Amino acid sequence: MASKPLNVGIVGYGFMGRTHANGFRKVSNFFDLEYRPVLRAACGRDEAKLKAYAEKWGWETTETDWRALVKRKDIDVVDICTPNDSHAEIAIAAAREGKMVLCEKPLSMDGAEGEKMVAEIEKAGVANMVWYNYRRAPAVTLAKQIIDSGKLGKIFHYRAKFLQDWTISADLPQGGAGLWRLDAKAAGSGVTGDLLAHCIDTALWLNGSISTVTAMTETFVKQRTHTATGKVEEVGIDDACAFLARFSNGSLATFESTRYARGHKALYTFEINGENASIFWDLHDLHRLQFFDYADESRTRGWKSIHVTDGDHPYMGNWWVPGLQIGYEHTFVHQVADFLKGLETKTPAGPTFRDALETQYVCDAVLSSASTGSWTKVKQLA
Ligand code: SOE
């Protein structure tokens, strides 16, 4: 039975504000943990929207200034769900106040900013984590367990893509709720930091570090009206990005992301091929893991589709009964559960800020390679 309350203060009430709040609310119903999140305060600039959000999700109090929130004595954890350009300032201020810090992905605008965040958070010695939620889809965690068991043998290939189609219209403005993702000043980059960052995080977790990359990017719609100014302004983000990579373990990879793949809404897939076995996962079918094992008897050998819903599958013993599947929102519940378990066992749940900095380094190398047109070394964690 959960006993110790852990007071959470969230900054931001958009899409991620909802996924995180849901995670904090549900976790104690399904996981037996020493700590129990209390939805203590929600923070955002628009008071009317903030109040509506707080009421809907059960946040006890509100603040319209995050600087006041991070100073509050009754807050243990500051959770950042704001656009990317404010992650660093809020995270550093919260760490200096001795708060634990959770930060929505990507960690930072770039590697240099991420380094400052890691330095501050580690100096403060506070618990920290970045919300790369797809690691916690049970099928993806199962993939990690299978790979770590050595079943795949030597890894030859990694293949990932994240395809969407929601920015094809040239009439879509940049800036504002949700659309800040199209504004380079708020987002840092386009699909590289928003979507490929997910693919890179999973890849680093499953297959180790990436040593070099060569990339190409494109901005298909070059000017869009800015919501803040009402003026037509240059678009600074990458609408699409594809890159080749070499992992330090010798395997080769392809990564692709776009918001211009008509018909695809959030098609995140990855495949990993080893000498003995292969794995494939698809976000649109997130409760299944496709697995091919060359060790199977030859006449019945083939790809099998594992329905990852059994009690002995990762996280699933905490949910319903075998055969009944869960979905996207549960990845956030799992992330909260792992964070709390990490506090309990004093074994930090990943990705920590430091882990997430590695993803920033790969994103930096990808964007740099796209502009120089050459193979680029990825900076490695110190
Ligand atoms: C963009 O559309 C987006 O919402 C990302 O920002 C999320 O990180 C991704 O999980 C789904 O797509």
The response to whether residue 252 sits with its C-beta less than 6 Å from ligand 1 reads no
CA 264 / ligand 1 centre spacing (Å): 13
Domain 4-134: top CATH class: alpha beta
Residue pair 354/342 in contact (Cβ under 8 Å)? The answer is no
Cα gap 163→285, rounded to integer Å:
15
Task: Give the 3-state secondary structure of residue 251.
Answer: coil
- List b or e across 315-344, with b for residues whose CB sees 16 or more CB atoms inside 10 angstroms: bbebbeeeeebbeeebbbbbbbbbbbebbe
The response to whether residue 267 sits with its C-beta less than 6 Å from ligand 1 reads no
CA 228 / ligand 1 centre spacing (Å): 22
Overall size of the chain counted in residues = 382
Which pair of tokens denotes residue 140? 């993806």
Domain 136-377 has CATH 3.30.360.10: yes
- Judged on CB neighbours under 10 Å (0-12, 13-18, 19+), 85 is middle
Which of ligand 1's atoms lies nearest the C-alpha of 166? 2
How far is the CA of 230 from the CAs of 219, 220, 339, in angstroms?
Answer: 21, 21, 42
CA 275 / ligand 1 centre spacing (Å): 33
Task: Name the region of 79 (left: φ>0; alpha: ψ -120 to 50; beta: rest).
Answer: beta
| H helices present in 149-262, as ranges | 184-187, 191, 197-207
Tell me what pLDDT residue 1 has.
53
CA 164 / ligand 1 centre spacing (Å): 9
- What are the residue boundaries of the structural domains of the chain, listed by start? 4-134, 136-377
Tell me what pLDDT residue 3 has.
81
To test the pocket of ligand 1, the residue of 195, 241, 258, 359 to mutate (highest count of ligand atoms within 8 Å of its CB) is: 195
The residue whose CA has the least distance to atom 5 of ligand 1 is 194
Q: Which long-range contacts (CB under 8 A, 24 or more apart) does 378-381 make?
A: 378/209, 378/210, 378/211, 378/212, 378/213, 379/111, 380/209, 381/354, 381/357
Residue pair 195/257 in contact (Cβ under 8 Å)? The answer is yes
> CA end-to-end span of the chain, whole Å?
40
CA 3 / ligand 1 centre spacing (Å): 34
Residue pair 197/87 in contact (Cβ under 8 Å)? The answer is no
For residue 153, give the DSSP letter.
-
pLDDT in tens, the chain (382 residues): 558 999 999 999 999 999 999 999 999 999 999 999 999 999 999 999 999 999 999 999 999 999 999 999 999 999 999 999 999 999 999 999 999 999 999 999 999 999 999 999 999 999 999 999 999 999 999 999 999 999 999 999 999 999 999 999 999 999 999 999 999 999 999 999 999 999 999 999 999 999 999 999 999 999 999 999 999 999 999 999 999 999 999 999 999 999 999 999 999 999 999 999 999 999 999 999 999 999 999 999 999 999 999 999 999 999 999 999 999 999 999 999 999 999 999 999 999 999 999 999 999 999 999 999 999 999 999 9
Cα gap 347→332, rounded to integer Å:
19
| H helices present in the chain, as ranges | 15-30, 47-57, 66-71, 87-96, 111-124, 138-148, 184-187, 191, 197-207, 328-345, 353-372
The residue whose CA has the least distance to atom 1 of ligand 1 is 194
The response to whether residue 194 sits with its C-beta less than 6 Å from ligand 1 reads yes
Residue pair 246/210 in contact (Cβ under 8 Å)? The answer is yes
Pairing of strands 267-274, 277-282: antiparallel
Task: Give the 3-state secondary structure of residue 99.
Answer: coil
Task: Give the 3-state secondary structure of residue 7.
Answer: strand
CA 151 / ligand 1 centre spacing (Å): 32
Centroid of chain to Cα 32: 25
User: Taking Cα atoms as reference points, which of 258, 284, 254, 252 lies closest to residue 269?
Assistant: 284
The dihedrals phi and psi of 6, each to the nearest 5 degrees, come to: -125, 110
CA 194 / ligand 1 centre spacing (Å): 6
CA 191 / ligand 1 centre spacing (Å): 9
To test the pocket of ligand 1, the residue of 19, 136, 194, 284 to mutate (highest count of ligand atoms within 8 Å of its CB) is: 194
CA 266 / ligand 1 centre spacing (Å): 8
Q: Which helix (H) or strand (E) holds 234?
A: strand 232-234
CA quadruple 206, 211, 216, 221: dihedral sign: positive
CA 186 / ligand 1 centre spacing (Å): 15
Cα gap 129→196, rounded to integer Å:
19
HSE value, Cβ hemisphere, 13 Å, CA-based, for 198: 25
The residue whose CA has the least distance to atom 6 of ligand 1 is 194
